[in-house]
Every structure is written in C-alpha cells, then in structure tokens.
Amino acid sequence: MSTDTNAINWFEIAANDIDRAKKFYEAIFDVQLTSMEMMGMKMAMFPPNGTNGTVGGSLVQSKMHKPGSGGTVLYLNANPDLESVLKRVEKAGGKITMSKTLIDPNTGYMGFITDSEGNTVGLHSNN
C-alpha cells in the first residue's frame, strides 16, 4: 500500500431497511445521502465520492449484506466535536453504547453507537 493513500478507501454499512438507515444517518450527521440501485443492491451514498483522494462509502441493502454488532467496526468522522453527533443518535433511532471518551490528547476522542440497523459504529473527533 502506498503511504500517500488512505488505509480505507470505501466502506459499506449493511442495512435491513435502506430508507430507515438513510434517515438515521442523515439525521445524526445532518447530511444528504444519495440513493441508487446497482447490481441488485439498494444503496445510499455518503458524501464525498471517494474518487478525489478521500474515503467514500454507503449504506447497502442486499442479500449478501447482513447488519449486526459483531462484525467490522468503522469509525466515522464526527468532527469538529462528536458530542454534537451523539446528541442526535437516540432521537434518530439509535443507541449510544460508549459516550465521548478521550483516547489521548494527540489522537482525540471516540464513542460507539448502535445504529438503526443494529450495527456497532465507532465515531471519532479531534475535539
């Protein structure tokens, strides 16, 4: 892997109900996800698109995508302060499983949520 690339270049978060999952993530991050269907999958794309050197990803509903709490954990960017994202989680239909916690002063803060689909998702912010 080149040292000038991100370790992650795409992510997919499994959903049983793509509309519910889209509504959840739009509510907690105050963003618009773009819906599309491709190769038998329903998707809701997070901005940006991953082709400009940044990491992109989507929610995905398909037969091969199974949501759950025991799988891969992604940390989504909750800058500038993940507390503002955490405040919207329960109202949007999720659950906070770890409140804002200092990792160390140089790395910032982390937290965990369970999303509307039952996935465990990590959040990170510098402040």
Structure pTM? 0.87
Q: What is the pLDDT of residues 65-76, one digit of tens each?
A: 999 987 788 999
Query: Which CATH architecture fits 10-125?
Result: Roll (3.10)
CA distance 24 to 94: 8
Q: What is the pLDDT of residues 1-59, one digit of tens each?
A: 445 567 777 899 999 999 999 999 999 999 999 999 998 999 999 987 545 667 889 99
Q: If DSSP codes are grouped into helix, strand and coil, which group holds residue 112?
A: strand
Number of other residues whose CB lies within 10 A of the CB of residue 36: 11
User: Domain residues of the chain, as ranges?
Assistant: 10-125
CA distance 9 to 16: 24
In sequence order, the β-bridge partners of residue 76 are 123
